[in-house]
Amino acid sequence: MKAVQLQAFGNPADVVKLTDVPDVGAPGPNEVVIATDASPINGTDFSIIGGRYGYLPPLPSILGVEGIGRVAAVGRDVKHLKEGDRALIPVLHPAWAERIKTDAPWLRPLPNGDVQQLSMLGINPATAYLLLTDIVPLKSGDWVMQNGANSAVGRAVIVIARSLGLKTVNVVRREELVEEIKALGGDVVLVEGPELPKRVAATTGKAKIGFALDMVGDTATANLMNAAAPDATIVVYAASSQKPLVGSALQLVFNNQSIRGFWLVTWFKTAKPDKIVAMYDHLASMVASGAISAPVAATYRFDKVSEGLALAARRGGKVILTP
């Protein structure tokens, strides 16, 4: 079968190739075979290709960290899926192949909906959901602040927060994004820059912001800390600037703030199957209804993966790969 394979760590144009690999074969008793429909190119894929992710596969390795497909075959003991069901490809299971085989017991049939949007369900909406529900207790009316609000995670945070009765302060880097993020449901949308903490205080009526989400790093982290209240928690879940975070040690000490990290992969290591099922059931309906969505820039077949990677590297919307 055809698969997109990483042959060495380095420049995507040099190390990512479409190749023939052995077929996955028939499923074992507790396994299913899924024929891939679509898989997005994520920042995680670039981090793996460049050799700088928290998990690096042995080489050569099939790429892709999430996706969606149709169940093509099921093992004799499988009860949670049947042939023809549409299902997720589990997070970090190599997805850029015509077929994959998995024994993930938490997979369930997905509702009807846009295949491209559902292919992006696995990582970003799940990250947004867990950031808001699994780290600190939040109640209706609380404020959450985030930078990178235009990202796929940031967009999902806005929608999920609103469904939970939370209010959001959303920081973007370009003025032209302000109205778009407001239209998604962002309560306050501001452009990153000088005096950001003062602008946050002015637009929220000096609301207490006890929880903030950082996907940028660098000085953007300091802006979140300065806008957040004493005792606030700042969660770092990405570093799009690719620079070390900047913040005040004295502020952490005297304001009793805390900074911690979050990685979806770590959560999966201890999460019980019923909890994973409940999360994805909740999120799948939101994606299928269109409530959670991310802009798609283009779709490329596997044999055009080089063009897809080049476009995805320039950003401005997700690129989806199909067999």
Could you list the active site residues? 53
Sheet holding 167-172, edge to edge: 188-191, 167-172, 143-147, 209-214, 233-236, 258-261
What's the burial of 170, exposed, middle or buried (CB within 10 Å: 0-12/13-18/19+)? buried
Strands 167-172, 188-191: pairing kind:
parallel
Instruction: DSSP letter for 19, please.
Output: E
Q: How far, in Å, CA of 298 to CA of 276, rounded?
A: 30
Nearest to 153 by CA among 255, 250, 246, 238: 238
Identify whether the C-beta of residue 89 lies closer than 8 Å to the C-beta of residue 122: yes
Instruction: Walk across the sheet containing 2-6 and list its strands.
Output: 16-20, 2-6, 61-62
